[in-house]
Chains A and B, each alone.
Chain A
Amino acid sequence: MDVMTQLQRQWREHTAYLRKEGYLDDQFEQLQKLQDENSPDFVAEVVSIFFDDSEKLLNNMARALEQKVVDFKQVDAHVHQFKGSSASIGAMRVKNLCIEFRNHCEAQSLEECVRCLRKLQYEYSVLKNQLEYLFRLEQQIRAAGV
């Protein structure tokens, strides 16, 4: 098996794995379908925005939860935004955690919120690694095709 075929198989298997394990859902596939010769870096571009947004929002949530008097509405606003962006790229696990997180915000339960934030930070970093691996494979495939 030549390098190209091997790489393509790895890409397919990794994408299937991410779908099967629920890291990504149909929406990610929709994004891939929107990528074409006119917009060859569309998915990478959108995911890059997602990474920037996510890191900012996670920081905001952490800081909001550290306040002497926690403003749960403010925390919820950040989680709501994160839920939106994760839904937009098909990051299912992250999105579902956001839904759980919003419930804790509504209940104004600080302990649950903090616990949820930690889970969210973890899931996000795992997803980031997975996607970065996927994009590295894509770059290798492109390089091999030249």
Chain B
Amino acid sequence: KTIMGMAAEAQYHVLAVDDSLLDRKLIERLLKTSSYHVTAVDSGSKALEFLGLLEDEHNDALAPSDVDVNLIITDYCMPGMTGYDLLRKIKESKSLKDIPVVIMSSENIPSRINRCLEEGAEEFFLKPVQLSDVNKLKPHLLKGREKESEPSINKRKGMEECHSHDKTRTKYDGLEVV
């Protein structure tokens, strides 16, 4: 595969967050089957660390183009930082707020679902997550790509994206499953 080939493919990179190893394996397989590049972490704080945003930092050291994650899918019920807490932190961050976030939960609680959607989650999946759920991610990812291909400054961003994409892919592979 040439560099040109890899840039053209430009796989979407999904960050999956779940404290359950079993569910991480499952979501990882579902996402990989759908041809997404996956990084799986076991906590909200690890997710923020990966995204370049440390828990108590409010100043965004990273520009949106530096963060190479196209979608975040997180479990709701996690010790420490819940999926909802993580969602809020992402939406409050200048560098991360435009990354689509999806919440997963084993419990069907309407007030919980509404709260998450109101806070900006794109989707709320009931566990166990199905392939048909993962198929719903495409439009949210495409929307993100559309934003990137907007004219002027973003054209340059687009080129950097390809390079950083390759660099970050290699870098992140080591962090694959916790």
Contacts and interface: CB of A to CB of B under 8 A. Distances in A.
Interface string B106-144: 100000000000000000000110110000000000000
B23 interface: yes
Interface in A16-41: 27, 30-31, 33-34, 36, 38-39
B20 A85 contact: yes
Interface string B33-67: 10000000000000000000000000000000000
Contact of A34 (B20, B22, B29, B127): B29
A105 interface: no
Tell me whether chain B's interface is mostly helix, strand or loop, or mixed.
Answer: helix
Contact of B29 (A39, A84, A90): A39
Nearest to B23: A88
A46 B106 contact: no
Contacts of B81: none
Given A42-B29, A84-B106, A87-B106, A30 B22 contact: no
A81 interface: yes
B7 interface: no
30 contacts: A27-B128, A30-B128, A30-B130, A30-B131, A33-B131, A34-B29, A34-B30, A34-B33, A34-B131, A38-B32, A46-B22, A46-B25, A46-B26, A50-B22, A53-B20, A53-B22, A80-B77, A80-B106, A81-B20, A84-B20, A84-B23, A84-B106, A85-B22, A85-B23, A87-B127, A88-B22, A88-B23, A88-B26, A88-B128, A90-B128
